[in-house]
Amino acid sequence: MAATSRRLSRLIGFGGITVTAFAEYAATIAWRRDAAVRAQRQARWLQRQCQRIARLLHLRLRVHGTCGTAPLVVCNHVSYLDIVAFGAVVPVRFVAKSEVRSWPWFGWLARCAGTIFLLRKQRRSLLLASLRMRSAVQQNTRVVIFPEGTSTHGRTVLPFRSSLLAVAVEESWPVLPAWIGYESDEVCWWGEMTLLPHLWPLLGHEEIWATIRFGRVLRHWERKTLAAELHHAVCDLAEPPQSAIQRMPLFVKPQFLEI
């Protein structure tokens, strides 16, 4: 009964977030013509919505390290909650598969946030996504990509696809590796799972604990080598020595992060 009550109250809470988010978007973003101002406001708007969702779901975040000034963040991918977690910590723009555009509610949120949608296995879509990533960085907006190309069960990190790293190589961007994981395997969304049947039991959780670890920036002149080095760095972040965890500074936002 308690889980059912939480689910229902959180569904009502999503309704409240939707009303607030729509009002904020209409008031501060929808009519902005300056691309840079619009992009930055979209990122901050998304951060506010992700923080609200995190509070609603009792999503508790442990964050080690910081993003610094790196324009591109590369991370493993285990759940749609990765978006909420990262978005709550720092203003960003995401690159996502085109299917996300049609998701109920989350698709609307992604479109309003200026998400860069990628149609996989289409070269033209990849080139367009790279152009939009370059534009976002020029507008002082940080971009997050998940180069595994899909979400996983979280027990391993799949090899990174290098295609989206081409623009980072061309522009000599520093790229920041990051790792995200959850205490409960039930949060992981992968394989043939569908969104709503997975989300419904998740809404009943009393709280959800997540950990994000940021590494050190990397650069390389060749994208496949860069992808391999980033993959190695993310795997190291997944299981760092205990002494390394203790040395990592904690990025704390008390209103929604609990350490």
pLDDT in tens, 151-191: 988 889 999 999 999 999 999 999 999 999 999 999 999 88
Residues of the chain with pLDDT under 50: 243-259
Q: Give domain status of residue 147, yes or no.
A: yes
Q: Could you give the CA distance from residue 101 to residue 222 in angstroms, rounded to a whole number?
A: 31
Q: Give domain status of residue 257, yes or no.
A: no
pLDDT of res. 223: 96
Using a cut of 0.85, tell me whether the model's pTM lies above it: yes
Q: What is the domain extent for residue 111? A: 2-247
Q: Give domain status of residue 253, yes or no.
A: no
Q: Give domain status of residue 47, yes or no.
A: yes
**Single-letter amino acid code for the residue at 40:** Q
pLDDT of res. 53: 97
Q: Give domain status of residue 255, yes or no.
A: no
CATH number at residue 116: 3.40.1130
Give how many domains the chain has, as a whole number: 1
pLDDT of res. 241: 56
237-246 — which CB contacts under 8 Å span 24+ positions?
A: 237/177, 237/178, 237/179, 237/213, 238/76, 238/157, 238/179, 238/181, 240/213, 245/64, 245/213
Q: Give domain status of residue 256, yes or no.
A: no
Q: Give domain status of residue 258, yes or no.
A: no
